[in-house]
């Protein structure tokens, strides 16, 4: 399991605690978040969590193809100003890289509280031929379909009156589905 931009690490620590047989990797640039995750892992006795302090766009290309069962991207920086939209993480080239590292049947979960970014994520991921939107093309997932603990960024969005949008995708399976089953 890989969480991209884990922020304070709440979701990653919770996933690792509820999936102790999984190897969980967080990729993050924010040093205070890395410290927070480290403290949570120590407090909970988690030994299945690793982190990479780097830009995910530089890290994923070095990973083997079909090596990850589950990728989570929760509340990435929305870059709300139109002139900054090109800085958003969820772009076609990045989604192609995620598809490359996902194993057949692997899942991609995304969440945001920014409506325009949610629409962009939906359009970009629905356009990826190797991904299947589990809620149906053009549809957002119900939160229960992609269970995740609430994060600080989600709580902030809710306090601002933003709706939370979840997306859940599965990588198409050709003829084999080797490896462990991604979480349901």
- Give the pLDDT band of residue 176 (cuts 50, 70, 90): very low
Domain residues of the chain, as ranges? Answer: 2-171
Quick check: 36 pLDDT over 90? yes
Which residues have CB under 8 Å from 161's CB, separation 6+?
A: none
Q: How many CA atoms lie within 13 A of 33 on its CB side?
A: 23
Q: What is the per-residue burial (b if ≥16 Cβ within 10 Å, else e) of 136-162?
A: eeeebbeeeebebeebebbeebeeeeb
Tokens of 139: 């549809």
Residue 174: pLDDT band (50, 70, 90) is confident
Give 22-26's long-range contacts (Cβ < 8 A, gap of 24+).
22/48, 22/69, 22/180, 23/48, 23/50, 24/48, 24/49, 24/50, 25/1, 25/49, 25/50, 25/51, 25/52, 26/2, 26/50, 26/51, 26/52
Annotated catalytic residue within 77, 166, 174, 176:
77
Is 110 in contact with 166 (CB distance < 8 Å)?
Answer: yes
pTM: 0.89
Confidence of residue 31 (pLDDT cuts 50, 70, 90): very high
pLDDT at 177 over 50: no
With a cut of 90, say whether residue 166 has pLDDT above it: yes
In the residue annotation, 77 being an active-site residue is answered as yes
The CATH classification number of 2-171 equals: 3.40.50.150
- What's the chain's average pLDDT? 90
* Of 4-8, 10-14, 79-83, 131-135, the least confident: 79-83
Q: What is the pLDDT of residues 62-107, one digit of tens each?
A: 999 999 999 999 999 988 888 989 999 999 999 999 999 999 999 9
């Amino acid at each position: 399991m890989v969480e991209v931009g884990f922020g304070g690490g709440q979701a990653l620590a919770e996933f690792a605690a509820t999936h102790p047989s999984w190897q969980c990797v967080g990729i993050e640039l924010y040093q205070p978040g890395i410290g927070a995750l480290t403290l949570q892992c120590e407090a909970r006795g988690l030994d299945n969590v690793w982190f990479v302090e780097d830009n995910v766009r530089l890290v994923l290309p070095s990973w083997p193809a079909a090596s990850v069962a589950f990728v989570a991207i929760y509340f990435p920086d929305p870059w709300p100003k139109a002139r900054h939209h090109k800085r958003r993480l969820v772009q076609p080239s990045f989604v192609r890289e995620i598809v490359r590292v996902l194993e057949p049947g692997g899942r991609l979960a995304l969440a945001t509280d920014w409506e325009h970014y949610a629409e962009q994520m939906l359009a970009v991921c629905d356009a990826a031929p190797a991904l299947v939107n589990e809620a149906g093309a053009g549809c957002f997932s119900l939160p229960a379909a992609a269970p995740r603990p609430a994060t600080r960024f989600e709580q902030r969005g809710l306090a601002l009156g933003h709706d939370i949008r979840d997306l859940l995708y599965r990588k198409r399976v050709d003829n084999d589905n080797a490896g462990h089953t991604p979480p349901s």
